[in-house]
Each structure stands twice: as C-alpha cells, then as structure tokens.
Structure 1
Amino acid sequence: MTTHSAPPASVPLASGSPVGPVYADRGASHYDILAVLMAVVVILSGIGASKGVFFGTVPGIGFEIITDAGFFLFPLAYILGDVITEIYGVRAARRALITAFAMNILAVITYQIVIELPGFTDDFGTAKQQALELALGPVWIVVLAGLLGFLAGQSLNTLVMSRMKRRFGERGLVGRLLTSSGLGELVDTIVFCSIAAAAIGITTVEQWAQYTVLGFLYKVLVQYAAIPVTSAVIRWIKRTDPSYQERLRASRGNLPAQA
C-alpha cells in the first residue's frame, strides 16, 4: 500500500522563538522581482530628482515647500530594502543595493553618450539636443548624491534591521521597520540634499534647510504610513517561501537543520 505524505504546513510566524535570525534563499521565490524593482525605482528617482519642485509657501510661517520630482517614488526604494533585508538578509540586501546603483551608473553613462552623439542640425534636431542637455545633463550629479546618500542611509537601515532581528527573531517586525526607516532616511536625506541642491537650482542655506527638513519628514511619514502594507507583504512572503519555512522549522527544532 502506497502512502503519500502531506506537504509540510507553514509555521506560524508568532509561535516559538528561533535560535537565530532566519532568512530565505536568494535563488528562491521573490528576491529577483524585488531586486529588479529596486533598480528601476532608483533609476527613475535619479531622473526625477534632477527637477526642483516648488509647491508654494506655508501661510503665516513663510516655510517654502521645496522638493524634487523624485519625491513620490524614492521612499519605495527603502520599503523594498526593508523587505529584502528582513526576508533574505544583509548580504542579499547589499547585493540588491549594489546592483541598483550599478544600473543607475549605466543609465547615466548612457545619457552622456546620447548627449554627445551628433544629432540632426535642423531646428527640431537642435532644439531636441538642447532639451536633452538641459534635462539629462545634471542627472549625474543627482545620481552621485543618490549613490552616496542611499548607500549611507540604506547601509544603516540594513544594519539596524538585521541587528534587531538577530536580537528579537520573528518578534518586533514593526519596531524594526520604524527604527531602521527613521535612522536610514535621516542620514540619506542630509547627504543627498547637500550634494543635489545645486543641481536642482537651490542656492541658499535657507532653501537647503527647508528642502532637507521637508524631504526627511515626507519620506519617513510615507514609510511609516506604508508599514501595515510592508509588514503584511513580508509576512505573506515568509509564509509562502519554501526555503524560509524550512529554515524556520529547523531553527525551532521541528526539523533537522540543513546546510
């Protein structure tokens, strides 16, 4: 008589405490999709951030609402970084970060080649050449600012996430997201705004301060507002990723640990 064993059920994430932090395999499940999304977000944010945006002045206090055109997209890069770090670990997050910026550098090199190639000399060709130089010419400065800022901020974000997970295991996910996001965005915003300000037309210390404060508050508020969705996505991937479930069961003593 032949018997068929049922597939192992997913381990409830809140039950028990793993011996150490648990991570999924990079080659399995959703890592490739998350890494590609991060690269696309970083590239598009670099293009958008080359344009300064002015929404007016807050009545009564004279605070100017100054930002850049990448403001609505960039927080998603940190959200994706949080998801990758929590599920796949520090090395996987670092790999996604390096890949994203390598692709961003490739994009900047491509822009410069496009600008330098000889174009048509009629009125339309000349106008297009001038538009490309004006729009894409300063992008390399923004990309440099983004590279240094995101590298510093996301590295701190990843470090805090991983250290807190090492200490608390599967517990305290929301606390990890809150703490790492705030610290990472603070460092990122200060570095980025200090370098990119001139490229988008900010010329005074007052404008820089307003740009930096508003950018930090906006990014953190967006990430905090997205935490319920972020944590739900993380928990869903953990439940549906076979390698994560296998290591979770092994860590809790339900299965023998495998290399």
Structure 2
Amino acid sequence: MLQSNAPASRVKNTPTFAAVGSPYFGILLAFMAVIVIISNIGGSKGVLIGPIVTDGGFFLFPFAYILGDVISEIYGFKVARKAIVTTFVLSIFASLCYWVIIALPGFTDDFGMAKQEALEVALGPVPQIVLAGLLGFLAGQTINSWVMVRLKARQGEKKLWARLMGSSGAGEFVDTVIFCTIAAPVIGIVGFGMFANYVLVGFVYKTAVEFLFIPVTTVVIRWFKRHEPSYQAA
C-alpha cells in the first residue's frame, strides 16, 4: 500500500500547466506587450496628485503583472519567461521606432515645427524610460513568475490567492526600485524625499491594485483553466 500511494501523492502534487497551442496565450501576450509599451510612454510624464508623486503610466502598468500572473499560473515559468522576453524585445523595437520618427525630416512651417517639438518632448525621453521599464519589468516579472510557479509546485491548485499575493509583492518591489532609480532624473524627480515618495507610492499603489484585483484575477484564471484545452487540473 505504501508503494502504491507514494506515486499517486507525487502525481497529485505535480503542478499542472497548459501547452501554448491554443490561441489564448497569444491574446494574453499581445495585451501584456501593448500595456508595457503604452506604460513606458506614459512613464515619461511626471504626475503630481496632491502630495503623491507618480508618473503617467501608474494606472496601467499593474495590469501587466496581473496578466503575468495569469500566464505563469496557466502555462508555467518557461512560457512566462518567453512572454517576458518577447515583451522586452517589442518594447525595444517601439523605442527604436520613436527614434526614427523623431529623426525623420519634417515640414518646416510653424505647424510642422510645433509638431516636431511636441514629438521630441513627448517621445524623446522615452528610451531612458524604456530602459528603466525594461530592466524593472525583466527582473520583477521573472521573480513574480518564479515565485508563482514555485508556490504552485507546493500548493497544487489550492491557495491561488496566496500565490497571487506572494508573487505580486516580491515582483513589484524589485520592479519599482529598479524603475524609479533609473527613471527619476528623466521625469524630473530630485532630492531624496521626492524620490522616496516616488518609490513608496509606486510600490504601494501597484501592489494594492494587484491585491484588489485578486478576485477578478482568480475568476479569469479559473476561466482559462476550464477553457484551455490542454489544461487538466488534478
């Protein structure tokens, strides 16, 4: 009996993941890439709401991590890592496109010059913001996915909320510190007090958004588990 039960126990605790043959993964990846690219553009604008110091991408970026949680839970760490790298490359491509657009000769009338100046101001700082976003995203999302999958290996299909909370806190902390350190000078944040405000607000806000969306994320993950053809939970 002991020999027959041991393999069954091991099989039961083995985490289940889906293959990427269905169209669902492509949809998730597309949304995550678009969110990160738009967030990098918005991140070039400093935002001051009362005493709160943040940037223009603050309302959007947490959803990239929510999508990262869904991908990690459904498809596993290797697939999530491919999604992170793909988003990384697409963000670099977008940044190069901005550089080409700015460098192209434009109209020399007043309206054309005004548009050129607006593009330079809006998209000019983006490469450094992209660097900050990419390094933060690469490190933070990798840690987020790794923690998510490691906890799933221990918990199986149970305690999804704990995986979402644990991975979000770790990933967002690393991401926020890296991003804020590189992006602060471009945005116009000076002084330690303003910088500390920027880091603290960013971390607390993004983590809070992920925590508040845990019920929604849970419903979405359960939907994917039911409809993803290759996902067969134990």
Partner of 2:4: none
Do the aligned residues in 2 keep the contact of 1:52 with 1:201 (CA within 8 Å)? yes
2:200 maps to which residue?
213
CA distance in 2, matches of 1:119, 1:29: 41
What is the alpha-carbon distance in structure 2 between the residues aligned to residue 153 and residue 119 of structure 1? 39
Counterpart code for 1:24 = A
Q: SS state of the match for residue 107, structure 2? A: coil
| Structure-to-structure mapping, 1:182-197, within 5 angstroms | 182-197=169-184
Question: Secondary structure of the equivalent of 2:230?
Answer: helix
Which of 32, 36, 40 pairs up with 2:30? 36
Unaligned runs of 5+ in 1: 1-16, 57-63, 253-259
Residue segments in structure 2 that go unaligned for 5+ positions in a row: 1-10
Checking the alignment, whether the CA contact within 8 Å between 2:180 and 2:199 is kept in structure 1 is: yes
Paired residue secondary structure (1:36): helix
Deviations 1:154-177 (A, max 9, x none): 111111001011111111111000
* Worse-matched range after superposition: 221-230 or 89-98: 89-98
Q: Distance in 2 between matches of 1:122 and 1:241?
A: 55
Distance 1:198 1:95 in 2: 31
Q: Is 1:113 equivalent to 2:100 in the alignment? A: yes
The list of structure 1 runs, each at least 4 consecutive aligned residues, that deviate by more than 6 angstroms after superposition, is: none
1:27 counterpart residue number: 21
Partner of 2:5: none
1:49 maps to which of 19, 43, 51: 43
Mapped to 2, the partners of 1:230 and 1:182 lie a distance apart of 15
Whole-angstrom distance in 2 between the partners of 1:191 and 1:241: 35
Please tell me the residue identity of whatever aligns with 1:223: E
User: Contact 1:23 / 1:86 at 8 angstroms: preserved in 2?
Assistant: yes
Match of 1:225 in 2: 212
In 2, the alpha carbon distance for the partners of 1:109 and 1:127 equals 22
Give 1:178's aligned residue: 165
Deviations 1:169-198 (A, max 9, x none): 111111000000011101110110000001
Q: TM-score, normalised by structure 1?
A: 0.85
Code of the residue aligned with 2:67 in structure 1: it is L
Greater C-alpha Rg:
1
Match of 2:52, SS state, is strand
In the alignment, the residues of structure 1 paired with residue 98 and residue 12 of structure 2 have an alpha-carbon distance, to the nearest angstrom, of 48
Aligned length, in residue pairs: 224
Q: Secondary structure at the match of 1:242?
A: coil
* Distance of 2:81 and 2:127 partners within structure 1: 22
| Aligned pair partner of 1:126 in 104, 113, 124 | 113
1:202 equivalent in alignment to 2:185:
no
Query: SS of the counterpart of 2:12?
Result: coil
Deviation, structure 1 residue 28: 1.6
Code of the aligned partner of 1:40? V
Q: Equivalents in 2 of 1:185, 1:211: separation in Å?
A: 14
Give the structure 2 partner of residue 88 of structure 1: 75
Q: Is the 8 A contact 2:88 2:138 kept in 1?
A: no
Identity %: 57
Report the TM-score, using the length of structure 2 for normalisation: 0.93
Q: Structure 1 CA distance, aligned partners of 2:68 and 2:195?
A: 27
Distance in 1 separating the partners of 2:36 and 2:140: 14
Q: Distance in 2 between matches of 1:128 and 1:29?
A: 39
Does the 8 Å contact 1:161/1:176 carry over to 2? yes
Q: Which has the higher helix share?
A: 2
